[in-house]
Amino acid sequence: MVRDPRDDESARKPERDSKPRVTRLYGAVDLEANYPPTMADPQTTKAITAETPAVGALLERYRIGGVLGQGGMGEVLSARDEQIGRPVAIKRLRVENPSPDVLARFLREARIQGRLEHPAVVPVHELWNEGGQPFFVMKQLAGTTLADVIPRLALADKRALEEFPLQRLLRAFADACLAIEFAHTRRVVHRDLKPANIMLGDFGEVYVLDWGIARITDDAEERSRDSFADIGTVDGTQTIAGAILGTPGYISPEQIRGDYLLDGRADVYSLGCILFEVLALQPLHPRGQASITTALAGVDARPSIRAPDREIPPELDAICVRATQVDPNYRFETARALGDAVQHFLDGNRDIALRRELAKEELEQARVALRKGNGTTERRDALRAAARALALDPTEREPADLVGALMLEPPAEVPDEVHAELAELDLEALKTSAKFGVLAAFAYLAFFPILYWIGFRELWCMIAGPALCVAIILIQLFVSPTRPYLSGYLAILGNLAMFALFGWMVSPIVIGPGPAIIMVTLMAAHRQLIRPWILALLTSLCTLIPWILESTSVSVAGNTLVLHTAATELDPSATLAGLFLYIVALVHLAALLSRLQDDDRRKTRQMMQLQAWQLRQLVPRPTSKPPQ
């Protein structure tokens, strides 16, 4: 592989110290150095004086500091202009006795850069070509390049996101386009535009760097060098040498083909690749040799497709696509036109016709999805496409009708996401029922003093019953919040035991059926916990089991129903009063629990109705059915 002597890719970074550090770039050298520049190092000064007499003659004006960076052929030195008192950078060749071709290229770079007097081009203060070791003096920069910024944004670096929002990057890109347009009006084509050559200054400046392989379109000597046919296979970020100079991944197809007639549209292509990378935070083309193939064949240059989570506006998609067309005749004619398109987007002048065209495409995608079927996937794809069409063109009636119909008419099958949400709602409802169960348990507990007053004095009954009530209350209060299903099963078991106890004490016909009906009413709604018929069967068996086992008896004599209880003797007045209180309390308890349960359901229904009402305000009611 032949390396271009003007490329300074392998920059050497100085050792870090405690002083503030800033990133600087000169040519293709990525530099990180101290600011202000250090004083002259005796060894460096001696070497410069011995090897470069011209520099030595200027040491009285320029106090040489450390090496900011160096590559295979050149290096950049930090210096101080003693006449004016400002920091400068000196770029020189590192090779001894450079060949005439290397020397001519170096001088040509300095002259092109110095001739392009534009705020976005690093100014050249002085050029010396004496003693066979030329150098030129230029402004010392402070800032960072897009090549440094984009990877940090891709990693969601918080500081980078705050310092370099998309609006700032797009404004800087538009400024870079104007700088390139200025060069084109001077017949200069950059030919090596890439993120590493776009620098963002610390105070809002934008610089276009590395004019080392720029082409002057009417330079006969330069045209003679375009006859090389080989393309080196190198890292995608390095500059390749040969007939086609540039960087794989950003080089235009006509440069790859070695077209003789090369104009500013080659730089437009490179700028389009840079814009794509700024938006998608990833390169348009793969790294290395593969980029040559994809550049010649063409790729989908919509950053929204490559990075769907970035929410890239369609206007910027269209700008990238047009700027990176394989045929230069279909690109923006000038770099200014490309920059103006980005600036128009920043100014809010959106292309209404483009949005309507994109809305039609999204609407057609929605129709295609519905024609495939009415399943969950097709319905979701159709709804999303229709919503995008409505967002792109809110004035069009058909997308609004389609969105309204899809949102207000249920799909043929329930999506898995809805099943999951229903399960969550059932879980919350189960926790709510546990609160109602606490009230029921307190009501059970209140029965036992009445039973004792009537005449039920069996000690174990008076202990076991209240203990069951307290256990149910503790389960509902402490187990239900974290393990609602376990709480539900334990509560059901506790209630079943309570019904059996009531059936044994008072007979299965008097007290047990009322609480049993209340529990079945509360728990039958939780089908994910227990099947309603199983709950009803278990409740019936536990209520009637004392009768089945003949622990208690019920007899009929003529028109008299005789109930035999576990009490040794019942007080007639207390019994009648107790039954009266029991009936009144049972009816009021049923009414209270029913009201609380309905209030909870009503909140859910109200929320659903509010959401539906809001959707109806957002999307008008459809005037037509969804297209099939």
Beta bridge partners of 70: 75
What pLDDT, in 10s, does the model give residues 155-204? 999 999 999 999 999 999 999 999 999 999 999 999 999 999 999 998 88
The predicted structure's pLDDT at residue 575: 81
Sign of CA dihedral 454, 458, 461, 463: positive
Per residue in 571-592, is it b (16+ CB within 10 Å) or e — as a string? eeeebeebeeebeeebeebbee
Q: Does residue 371 have a pLDDT over 70?
A: yes
The predicted structure's pLDDT at residue 57: 54
CATH class for the region spanning 146-350: mainly alpha
What pLDDT, in 10s, does the model give residues 141-159? 888 999 999 999 999 999 9
What pLDDT, in 10s, does the model give residues 198-226? 999 988 899 999 888 888 876 444 444 43
Contacting residues for 507 by C-beta, under 8 A, at least 6 apart:
546, 547, 552, 553, 554, 563, 564, 565
The predicted structure's pLDDT at residue 181: 96
| Cα–Cα separations (whole angstroms), residue 245 to 213, 242, 257, 317 | 7, 6, 11, 28
The larger pLDDT score, comparing residue 29 to residue 143, is at: 143
DSSP-derived secondary structure for 43-69: HHHHHHHHH-HHHHHTTTTEEEEEEEE
Sketch the domain layout of the chain as residue ranges: 21-141, 146-350, 353-408, 417-608
- For residues 512 and 508, what is the distance between their CA atoms, to the nearest angstrom? 6
The predicted structure's pLDDT at residue 311: 83
CA-nearest of 201, 207, 240, 246 to 113 is 207
Terminal alpha carbon distance of the chain: 60
Residue % of the chain over a pLDDT of 70: 82
How many Cβ atoms from other residues are within 10 Å of residue 501's Cβ?
21
Q: Does pTM surpass 0.75?
A: no
DSSP-derived secondary structure for 445-502: HHHHHHHHHHT---HHHHHHHHHHHHHHHHIIIIITTT-HHHHHHHHHHHHHHHHHHH
The predicted structure's pLDDT at residue 194: 95
Q: Does residue 326 have a pLDDT over 80?
A: yes
CATH class for the region spanning 21-141: alpha beta
Q: Which two tokens stand for residue 582?
A: 């029991």
> What's the whole-number average pLDDT of the chain?
78
512 within 8 A of 543, measured Cβ to Cβ: yes
